[in-house]
Each structure stands twice: as structure tokens, then as C-alpha cells.
Homo-oligomer: A and B are copies of this chain.
Amino acid sequence: MAYQPMYKKIASDLRNAIDTKSLSTFPSEQELMKSYKVSRTTIRKSLELLKETHVIQSHRGRGTKIIKKTTPHPAGMPNTNRQIIGLVMAGFTDSYGTSLLKAIQAYALKMNYFVIMRFSNQSAHDEALYIKQLIDFGVAGLLVFPVENYAEKSEVLTSNIKRVPTVLLDRQIENYSLPIVSTDNYHAAKTLTKLLLQMGHVNTVFMLRKGSNNSAMDERIRGIKDAYHDFQRTIPDDAWQQLDIPDATSEHYYDRFQKSLDEIRNRLVFNKKFTCYMALDFSCINTFIIAKDSLTKKINRVSFLGFDGPPYLTSDVKYNRIVQDEGEIAHQAIKLLDNLINGVEVPSTKILIEPKYLDNHSVFPV
């Protein structure tokens, strides 16, 4: 590996020698220092790595024993290039995903990985295909930011998703329960909703994107419901609002917003009971920005808040929001994947990251 530290190179070299059975008894530290022309410290770091990954065992005074004589891949696993990981991402924008992508790149680099990227553009078909292609190509592991859940199971996905170590970002893939790193969406939504209830907002509109169907959203909805439950309140039936959100780059972007805009207007202007409007999905924020833009004079009594959003909002569309810690999600995901690739035991394969709450003074007590 081009920029691998020496101790890692030696560890990888020794591991290969064990894998290919060209090494049957393990050399002493002295022998290794001589043959690699490095210091004892370097050799000890290499050995530490091999111990961590359960390749060797050593006991004081009894030397070092090889405990893993077979190839590191279970039967049926493809030959992999240990330098390369694959990243399959449903999509990204400045609102959510761009920082994640940049941070994945930065942390992967720190761990000496090259990252091959594929964007599935919310296509389940392409996602399954890219996963297969990357595994066939020989990546050591995969990071997958999945598309919305599948209506039908894809055979391509089913037969491939577990062939190499895989860590999911943000969302689960239904029925697979793979290792995952995501925001703690349940607690974020629950805490936020409790805060609103404490401020007197018992009638909040919860806006969702039509067609949105993923575990992150499920967790947020569960958090909201549990907050109401804790306050012994029930959520009004008309509180949930599903809106058609056109993609920001689609051709009839502004036109298609018109209908969603009318729906927001109907909910807020003609129904005075609602005191608060919460967008649960970053893409809702786009609608919301435009909605607030044209509605702001009529609805300035309403509190606004949401999840995510681009960093460069104008004063007109600043709002309180949950900002996911994309850097930390990337950091933990790469660490977890690296451990899985190297066979290091991990305490948990489900890592939840706490988001930040950004107060832009768009929420006021009733």
C-alpha cells in the first residue's frame, strides 16, 4: 500500500505469508528486526496488530503462535483488494450528504483506503447492481447509503449484500439488519417534540415527503409518538402531512411546488389550531423554504423547524433545525468497516450518533 506505515506493511506481509502457508512457525522479534531492518518498537506494533486481528497469539516466555492458518476470507468470499472500499450512495445535496461524502473520503484516506464511489440516484435496481459490481471487482468492504426501502426484494441484492463486510449509513435495508451507523433519530425527534410540547405546541403539523419510507423516518415518527404519549397527549389525525416534493433539479421544479404550497396554506392559514410546523425530511425543507417565502406574512404566528438543510440559508429562511453530525457518522462508519474487514471484534455493529440542535429563533412559545 503506497502510504501505509511500515508496521502495517510488515503485519500485512506476515499475514500474507501465513495465509499462503509460506510461514509455518512464527519468527522471533529478533529475527523480524533483522529481516525487516526496523526497530523493536516497529515490530511490536506489527505484532500488536496481528494479535488484535487474531492472526497470532503470544504468551510471555512461550513465544508467538500462529492461530489463523487459513485465508482470512470464509469459503465463497471473493478475492479482495484490501486497499479499496466501495461506497454506494442513494444521493446527496448540501442539505444532507455532501458533508458525509467529503468526510468519508477524508477518514478513508486516513485509514489508507481508496474509495470507489457509485451513486444509485434512488434506484434500487442500480444499487443492487453496483453492490454486485463492486464486490465482483474486489473491494475489501462496502459502505452503503441505501435507497428508499424496496417494494420487492431484489435477487441481485439478496445474493450479494453479505458477501463482503458492509456498513450501512443512515438507513437500514429492510430484513437484512446489517451493521449501521446513523443519527439517533428516535431520541432527536422525541427530545425535540417534548420541547415543543413544553412550550405549548400541542398542535404541530408533521410534514413528510410522499414516498419516503426508510428506517430513519420511522425512528423519527416513533420518537414523536412516544413524546406525545409521555405527555399523555394524542396527535390529531390531520397533523400528519405528506407532500409531493419534486427533486430540486427536476425540470418543473417551481411549478410542481405550487400544489404542495397550496396544501401547506390550507393546513396553516385556514386552520388556526396549528401553532407549529415541523419538516421531518431534509427535502421537505426545500418546500418549506419556498412555502415560508410566500406565506410568511400570513403565518408569522407559526413556529417552524425541521431536520437538516443547506448551510447557506438567508435570514428569511433561517429556522431551528436538527443538524446531523455527518463528520462523526463518516468517522464511525469507516472505523467500523475497517474493523470488520480486519476481523477485529467490535462491541456493537449499531452505532448511533447524536445530532446538534441549531436554534435560529424560529420557534416561540404559544
Q: Which positions in A face B, CB cutoff 8 Å?
A: 2-3, 83-84, 92-94, 98-99, 102, 105-106, 109, 114-119, 121, 133-134, 136-137, 248-249, 253, 286, 289-290, 293-294, 310-312, 314-317
Contacts and interface: CB of A to CB of B under 8 A. Distances in A.
A222 to B, nearest CB: 29
Given A105-B119, A115-B117, A118-B109, A92 B83 contact: no
A95 B331 CA distance: 26
Nearest to A253: B311
Contacts of A136: 2
B137 A83 contact: yes
A117 B92 CA distance: 15
Given A2-B137, A94-B94, A248-B311, 12 more contacts: A94-B98, A94-B310, A99-B249, A105-B117, A105-B119, A106-B119, A109-B118, A115-B117, A116-B116, A248-B310, A290-B315, A314-B314
Contacts of A114: 116, 134, 137
A180 to B, nearest CB: 23
A293 B311 contact: no
A15 B69 CA distance: 39
A83 to B, nearest CB: 7
A312 B3 CA distance: 41
B118 A102 contact: no
Contacts of A117: 105, 115-117
A10 B135 CA distance: 23
B133 A3 contact: yes
Nearest to A117: B117
A115 B84 CA distance: 11
A80 to B, nearest CB: 14
Contacts of A121: 102
A362 B311 CA distance: 24
Q: Top 5 closest A-B pairs, CB basis?
A: A293-B314, A94-B94, A248-B312, A248-B311, A2-B136
Nearest to A116: B114
A82 to B, nearest CB: 12
Nearest to A254: B315
A145 to B, nearest CB: 14
22 contacts: A83-B137, A84-B116, A92-B98, A94-B248, A94-B310, A98-B98, A99-B249, A102-B119, A102-B121, A105-B117, A109-B118, A115-B116, A115-B117, A116-B116, A248-B310, A253-B312, A286-B312, A289-B314, A290-B314, A290-B315, A314-B314, A316-B316
A249 B106 CA distance: 16
Contacts of A98: 92-94, 98
A261 to B, nearest CB: 11
A351 B106 CA distance: 31
Indicate the member of A109, A312, A316 with the most B CB atoms within 10 Å.
Answer: A312
